[in-house]
Structures are given as structure tokens and as C-alpha cells.
A and B are shown apart, each in its own frame.
Chain A
Amino acid sequence: MKLSNRRLQRHRKIQLSMTSMIDVVFLLLIFFLTTASFVPTERDLESTMRVQSTSAGASDLQPAVVDVVPGRSGFVYRLGQRELDDPEQLTDLLARFDNKAQGAFVRVSDRAPFRMAAAAVQACKTAGFASVSYIPLGDEP
């Protein structure tokens, strides 16, 4: 008597071998764990580059020109006749300007620290100037 195979086959469970998948997944995990590096958040300060000196256009108001130049004791931010070493004071002074649509100009000496140049651009942006122009001054102010 021949028994049918169907009954026997019905109760068989199909089993997937997970071993190879787990192997691959672990490899991927180790790769990402070892290669991942968490970088600090970066943002941008947009500015316009100018080669020559300020060209503010026809206006009765004096444009905001910040010079980053050597002062009596190290490098300073020069705004008109005033020399400042604190970027927050510079921001306060710049905020008082009325002609913000005209933009601000940051003129930087070659020997000035870059952090001060960036801080001057930041001060102009924080004070509300629509555009900031970066002007290289060369070696001498």
C-alpha cells in the first residue's frame, strides 16, 4: 500500500537560515560603527568679494566700513575713529547705522587673524546689514 506524501509534507515548516543575513548585518554594523564620525554643525556667513575699495553708490549717509587692522595693542576692529576689540561692541555700534540696505564693508589686513575677520562679517550680519563685502587690504592698512 502506498501512502500519499501530502500528509507528511503538510506539517513541514519552511525555515529560513538567518545566519548569513546576520553575518552581513553585523559586518555592516561594525563598518558604520568604526567609520562614523560626528562632525560639528557648520553654518555659513555669506559675503560678497570685492577687490577694490568701497563703492557704496550715491548716498548722503556714510557706509559702514569695518577695518580689521593693527591697533595699539594687537589687532582691532576700526569703525570710523573708534577702535574696538570686542565683536559684541562692534555689533552694537553697527546696529545703530540707518543705511543697512546699503550694505557693510569689511576690510581686512593680511596679517589680521582670520577669526577676527569672520567675527567682523558676523557682526555686520547680526546688526542687520543686507549684504557684507569682504575687501582684502593687503599688508598695510
Chain B
Amino acid sequence: MRLSKHRRATIAEMDMTPMIDVVLLLIIFFMTVTQVSELNRERLELPRLAGAEDQKQTTMTINVDAAGQVLVSGHSMSVAQLLTLVSAELAKLGDDPQRMTVVLRADQRGDCRTVNQIVSALGQMQISRLRIAVQVPT
């Protein structure tokens, strides 16, 4: 007597290992290339120049848009307000202007009126180290 074969119900299983590998690789990639603290950088059209050195740690980043508006950490402010902020930063550094490095990110479409005002004011506060941010042409 032939017995009927009882086939076990086969469950189709997908091998998830390569997918998880790829997804984790992608996550590691995005985590490493994403700069979270981009708040102090406004979207500006910087002068397209080669520059002289790579960007370093700075005390303060001042953005000046094409219309001459001053922006620091996403907040629009006047030059007078900026100087108050600079004074506070300077106080944190023990009132030593030599320890203060300012990066000026100014839109290349604008004029130098606001930039000159900032430079004059910072110069009067004995802050002399200024870095002009440029965009490396591709």
C-alpha cells in the first residue's frame, strides 16, 4: 500500500543579510558626511576663489548676505547688535582679542559697505584676525 506523501509546508525565506549590510553601510556613510551643526552657515554665494588654507576652528562666523544683512547663527541683526555679541564672546575668551578668530562669509554679489563697517568695528575692539570664506571652484 502506497502511502501518500505528506509534504511539509515550505516557508519561503528571504536572506536579509546582504540587504542589511548595504543599508548599514549607507547609514554609516550618511552619518559621517552629514554635518549637523550647519546653523552658523547661511546659504550664500561666496567668492569663487582657491583660498589660502583649509577652514579651522573659529570663534565666530559672521554671514553677510547680498543685501548687506548681517546674520549670525540664523539670526538677523544690526552691526551694533553684532558688536554686543562679539563683546560677549570676547569676555568668554578672557578679553583677549588675540584668541578671537572671526570668519566672514559674505555674498560675492554684495558690496563692501557692511563688511567694512564690521571690519572697522572689530578693529577698534583690537580683534585683528579675520578669515574671509571662499568657495573652491569645482
Seen from chain A, the residues whose Cβ lies within 8 Å of a Cβ on chain B are 18, 21-22, 25-26, 28-29, 32-33, 35-36, 38-51, 68, 108-115, 117-119, 121-122, 125-126, 134, 136-138
A41 to B41, CA, bound (A): 13
A29 to B23, CA, bound (A): 7
Tally of A-B Cβ pairs under 8 angstroms: 156
Within 8 Å by CB of A43, from B35, B64, B122, B136, lies: B136
A41 to B137, CA, bound (A): 8
- Does chain A have a CB within 8 A of B123? yes
- Top 10 nearest A-B pairs (CB, nearest first) are A43-B51, A32-B30, A136-B116, A51-B123, A115-B108, A118-B47, A44-B131, A45-B132, A125-B52, A110-B113
Residues of B with C-beta under 8 A to A109: 112
Residues of B with C-beta under 8 A to A50: 123, 128
In the complex, the chain B residue whose C-beta lies closest to that of A112 is: B112
Q: Is there contact, CB below 8 Å, between A43 and B54?
A: yes
Q: Is there contact, CB below 8 Å, between B128 and A39?
A: no
Residues of A with C-beta under 8 A to B33: 36, 38
Residues of B with C-beta under 8 A to A25: 20, 23-24, 27
A39 to B49, CA, bound (A): 16
- Docked complex: B85-127 residues within 8 A CB-CB of A: 103, 105-113, 115-117, 119-120, 122-124, 127
Residues of B with C-beta under 8 A to A115: 47, 108-109
Residues of A with C-beta under 8 A to B35: 39
Chain B 43-64 interface 0/1 with A at a Cβ cutoff of 8 Å (1 = within) = 0001101111111100000001
A113 to B20, CA, bound (A): 52
- The minimal Cβ–Cβ distance linking A24 to chain B, given in whole angstroms, is 10
Q: Is there contact, CB below 8 Å, between A134 and B130?
A: yes
Q: Is there contact, CB below 8 Å, between B112 and A117?
A: yes
- Does chain A have a CB within 8 A of B16? yes
A sample of 12 more A-B contacts (CB under 8 A), given A40-B135, A113-B112, A136-B120, is A38-B33, A43-B52, A44-B53, A44-B131, A44-B134, A45-B134, A51-B124, A114-B106, A114-B109, A119-B47, A122-B52, A125-B52
